[in-house]
Chain A
């Protein structure tokens, strides 16, 4: 069994994601968006990039890619499903997670390390972290501004797992890089098996890259995969 890393035309973080999954002991397999079978997968990651060029709207075309039926099927079970950046946008567009991601507040692409605070450990992405833990992880997006009608998104179907914060963990306006509602950087579904986040934890997987803080998130994911298997 492997972690299926879904590749749409225009996806570009698939190899980085595979690299990070391998570092925490998971076998990754790149799966093309036209494939229709994920029966060999015990977990799924939708990596970052520009699926279908982000044309029309981020994720708007990708949600209709053939593989998405399988992703939806697995998301409804206990299988861990993770969307990173563009993958998060696709999960929201497909209705697997709630809310939507729109253009950054200042209408500019943002590529820089940000700090996020763990808001909940009830997810495949944060299970091994601790609430309040501050992680330094790069952000890399134009449509990273999370909006939702569910306010404050705590007790509904989905829940917040990561929020943008200062280096000391405070939630300030200045620490919210893109205008996201409630400083939301990542959410999970009610059962916690589906998680999405805008920052790129695979870019913070080794200290030589500036931070290894993303590792705890991948370790959470790996542990969740093992837990489901067991």
Chain B
């Protein structure tokens, strides 16, 4: 009996048909190093082959967009020569295999995307999803991911300014770790990735190349998980924030002195991706001498060197005259640098090892000729079933009891167990810190402010991908509007299951449609995104979990932006926006009190969304407190204000169900006086006073008791 060996391309995660494409393209069998390059560059993670044809639905056309999707980060114009760069990325699979390093390298990778554009990274936001904390392994994953983000972000010197967290059963074996980063730069510092100038040199900066992370993009990020996948641990990269900090400072100095023609970070697929992208984007070619790469260990094959995903590396394209100065700046910042190639007229990317040609491929083919799949989609059978399970909400409620249970939920309770582990103050820009709807940053020396919110809602998206995804966009818009910012640009991270499952493809396509529509309704350009598929373990797909990162912008920023801790005794409470309309599908009430998930989320009126968001941003210039009503409804939102401000409230008599209704486009406004000047529907519902949360006929609970429950929800589960 002979043992049939698995073909090399299958081991590298490539299908037979894709292998045939490569042989057709090259006109011959690929060399080992070439096969390695195509396998990674054509992986789902790098090529977006299952989603690409649908991503064109997103609109990035607005006059303030400087760089749209396709570069390392989106860039928008903030006026007076200021630009902002933003990007979101996922590090889902690595974080499951090794949570600390998986999350840490996710932070490192997204920061490189930002400073590749010439921007100084000034903030990071994390959207993370886990299985229920009752399971030991999920606690281990949360603990590890948070320590990884803290360990890397704090040490690299970029504040972590917020994020969101969700817990649901289907993330138990497939946690989601999405990281968004924001940078700012002056207009003349913008750098792009396209190489130009035949004879210019390619200089590899930063960490030595080792055997870590080989195949991370293809083997880890583009495949489903099965039992025993801990063996994939060597595919996880290892991060060194100290090296990255030096690399950031060195690169910013290179830009400042105008010493680079183009630059590209090394992420998924390492050198093969960076060289082919920078050459391909510029319509050029490149000759690469693989022996010149500074290595961490001897004996690496050319394929391994090309595929290694060792962290903290950048590839700069430099004119020959400037090479000495670049090397001297690198040396001053104590980072390694080696000249590994030169730009050619192209179109070939040629890689040499020991004087032998080990790869010769059309540079652009690695990115441009990647397969694009129009995968079949099918409306999922579960929809009719869940829509029939309308949430059961009694008319008479004991609000104290219900609120207590909601506040004890780890996704609703105080999240400062997480945010206090993150440096969220560095750079002295943080005006509104994590723990609010959106964080607000000032730009020192100007009157400008930037607000950011990351949002996702996998359960609602599961019940209706189109409506659920649209609502995330509107919620994130409101979360920045409460600071006074108007929604200005969005990045999205599409986390879905196995795209070879037609029902998953349907979820993806519907969610894209919902998000794209919502963005158009409020004139927000989509300036970048990331797609993470194959989030499936042992045959179970995750809940569809699109996540958005919204950048808001205000100029001038309010002198005293609304905060949750500014309510005072005697201030009135209004609710502005929509009337509650019995929206309990995927509500906290149904999830926690009924332990059920069903019904269909309400549709959103685009015109109302536009009006409420604009009115909210306007009110931010006069109201002490504005707070979006979301998970847990009015009762939870009011309680959060009470906890932060240290004052209770008394509500007028309301239908009990309205306290926990999650109808979107509603904002609490708190301020002095008895009338509110705004053009959208609004109603005064009570007063902040005393030390009791008084829900009229629905009951009451003492402020201290409620706050104790809220404060302990997460720490109690983690200890």
Chain A residues with CB under 8 Å of chain B are 9-10, 12-13, 15-16, 19, 32, 49-50, 52-55, 108-112, 138, 140, 142, 200, 202-203, 205-206, 208-210
Contacts and interface: CB of A to CB of B under 8 A. Distances in A.
Interface of B: 150-151, 154-157, 240-243, 245-246, 332-334, 416, 419-428, 430-431, 433, 442, 444
Contact of A55 (B242, B426, B442): B242
15 contacts: A9-B246, A10-B245, A15-B427, A16-B426, A19-B444, A53-B240, A109-B150, A109-B154, A109-B420, A111-B154, A111-B423, A140-B423, A205-B428, A206-B428, A209-B431
Contact of A202 (B242, B423, B428): B428
B483 to A, nearest CB: 13
A50 B425 contact: no
Which residue, of B154, B332, B422, has the highest number of chain A Cβ atoms within 10 A? B154
A13 B426 contact: yes
Given A16-B427, A54-B155, A140-B423, A10 B444 contact: no
A10 B242 contact: yes
A203 B422 CA distance: 15
Contacts of B430: 209
Given A19-B444, A111-B154, A111-B424, 19 more contacts: A9-B245, A9-B334, A12-B156, A12-B426, A16-B426, A16-B427, A50-B155, A52-B242, A53-B241, A53-B243, A109-B422, A110-B420, A110-B421, A111-B419, A111-B421, A138-B425, A202-B428, A205-B428, A209-B425
Given A10-B245, A209-B430, A53 B425 contact: no
B425 A111 contact: yes
Contacts of A206: 428
A207 B117 CA distance: 33
Contacts of B421: 108-111
Contacts of A200: 425
A141 B164 CA distance: 23
Contact of A50 (B245, B427, B431, B433): B245
Contacts of B433: 210
Given A9-B246, A10-B242, A209-B431, A50 B157 contact: yes
A33 B22 CA distance: 52
Contact of B428 (A10, A16, A55, A111): A16
A140 B240 contact: no
Contacts of A52: 242
Contacts of B442: 208
Contacts of B240: 53
Determine the main DSSP class of A at the interface with B. Answer: mixed
Contacts of B422: 109, 111
A12 B245 contact: yes
A123 to B, nearest CB: 24
Contacts of B425: 111, 138, 140, 200, 203, 209
* 5 closest A-B pairs by CB: A12-B157, A53-B242, A50-B155, A109-B421, A112-B420
Nearest to A208: B431
A112 B245 CA distance: 23
Which residue, of B150, B426, B433, has the highest number of chain A Cβ atoms within 10 A? B426
B447 to A, nearest CB: 12
Contacts of B246: 9-10
Nearest to B120: A15
A200 B241 CA distance: 21
A112 B242 CA distance: 23
Given A140-B425, A205-B428, A49 B420 contact: no
Contacts of B332: 32
B157 A209 contact: no
A205 B424 CA distance: 16
A91 B178 CA distance: 38
Contacts of B444: 19
Contacts of B426: 12-13, 16, 140
Nearest to B417: A108
Nearest to B156: A12
A208 B560 CA distance: 8
Which residue, of A12, A32, A112, A206, has the highest number of chain B Cβ atoms within 10 A? A12
A189 B243 CA distance: 34
B655 to A, nearest CB: 38
Contacts of B420: 108-112
Which residue, of B242, B246, B332, has the highest number of chain A Cβ atoms within 10 A? B242
Contacts of B333: 9
A209 B433 CA distance: 9
Contacts of A110: 420-421
Contacts of B243: 53
A50 B428 contact: no
Nearest to A110: B420
A138 B156 CA distance: 19
B242 A50 contact: yes
Nearest to A112: B420
A85 to B, nearest CB: 10
Contacts of B419: 111
A9 B416 contact: no
B501 to A, nearest CB: 40
Contacts of A111: 154, 419-425
Which residue, of A203, A205, A208, has the highest number of chain B Cβ atoms within 10 A? A208
B155 A112 contact: no
Contacts of B423: 109, 111, 140
A50 B241 contact: yes
Contacts of A32: 332
Nearest to A207: B560
Contacts of B428: 16, 19, 202-203, 205-206, 209
Nearest to B425: A203
Nearest to A53: B242
A54 B240 CA distance: 11
A16 B430 CA distance: 12
A210 B245 CA distance: 27
Contacts of A53: 155, 240-243, 245
